[in-house]
Amino acid sequence: MKKILFVYNPFSGERIILNYLDKIIELHEKNGYTVHIKRIERTEELQNYFQTIDEKYEYILVSGGDGSIDIVVNAMKKSNIDLPIGIIPTGTANDFAKFLDIPLDIVKACKQVIDGTEFKVDVGKANNQYFVNVASMGLFTDVSQKTDTNIKNTIGKLAYYIKGIEEIPNLRKLKVKLKWDKGEFDDYIYLLLVLNGKTAGNINLAYKAELDDGKLDVLVFRATRVTQILTICYRLIKGEHLEENIEGLTYFKCDNLFIECEEGIVTDIDGEKGPDFPLEISCINKGLTLRGKPL
């Protein structure tokens, strides 16, 4: 009988996955799969677990948000495990799942994984840490890290918004240096986003991003006048911010980006603490195999 490994985060989102564990097992067993289960607690523990795997699995099924997927991808890469991943989005934002058009309904998502085909997508890498959706630094980028897990799991997205409002008084300019194959940037910014997906916090920021083009989409929000910030926000709401050159916003695509910053700030990788500066961020073209492309 075919086997799959089901890795789930019991704390993700509003812990809704706990109500569906038996259903997920049932759906797989009806389709001829035996389900082995691993509960996510810490990245290091999962990596150690993967290093002991001697079973032959058809794929790894992951339940959680972007952070949970990130944990699994990093543990797999560092353990040299190359298996397809199926995603059941049960996080707070689920940006990567939305980019892939995975249903937010748990049963529908599970059936799509079971019935769908395999396909390859790009994955980002910041120094020695992989990311599926976004690497960021600057204003609001550590909101997820600062938001209490219990509160986040209780009130969901509202917890991010509350913490984000609390961070506004901490707005400050950051001096960064960027280098990529077609240009350089040396100036003050408020926010820097390097996206492998399209959205961050459910905001459609990099709507020109593609799944497998081998490029990352970079948005640099310069430290500019308040009036110009309002103009950028207006364009963001209308979804027109990438259509023309807007003062205060720099957008480009690249496959490799080098970042220097001496401001003593933290970076964020899919909602988790990222590596320290300097950063070398690269796009690994079709570096991740997913399971569940709609037939």
User: How do the domains of the chain map onto residue ranges?
Assistant: 2-115, 131-283
Q: What is the pTM of this model?
A: 0.89
Taking 3-state DSSP, the helix, strand and coil percentages for the chain, each rounded to the nearest 5, stand at 30, 35, 35
Which of 83, 75, 5, 70 minimizes the C-alpha distance to 39? 5
Burial level of 127, CB count in 10 A (0-12/13-18/19+)? Answer: middle
Q: Can you give the pLDDT at residue 141? A: 56
Q: What class, spelled out in words, does domain 131-283 have in CATH? A: mainly beta
User: CA 85, CA 88: separation in Å to the nearest integer?
Assistant: 10
Residue 21 token pair? 């564990």
User: CA 270, CA 216: separation in Å to the nearest integer?
Assistant: 14
Which of 237, 260, 241 minimizes the C-alpha distance to 251? 241
**Topology adopted by domain 2-115:** Rossmann fold (3.40.50)
> pLDDT per position in the chain (295 positions), as tens?
799 999 999 988 788 999 999 999 999 999 999 999 999 877 778 888 998 887 799 999 999 999 999 999 999 999 999 999 999 999 988 999 999 999 999 999 999 999 999 999 999 999 999 999 999 998 755 445 454 454 444 434 434 343 444 454 456 789 999 999 999 999 999 889 999 999 987 889 999 999 999 999 999 999 988 788 888 888 888 888 998 788 999 999 999 999 999 988 889 999 888 999 999 999 999 999 999 987 6
Q: Can you give the pLDDT at residue 159? A: 40
Q: Can you give the pLDDT at residue 138? A: 84
Q: Can you give the pLDDT at residue 92? A: 81
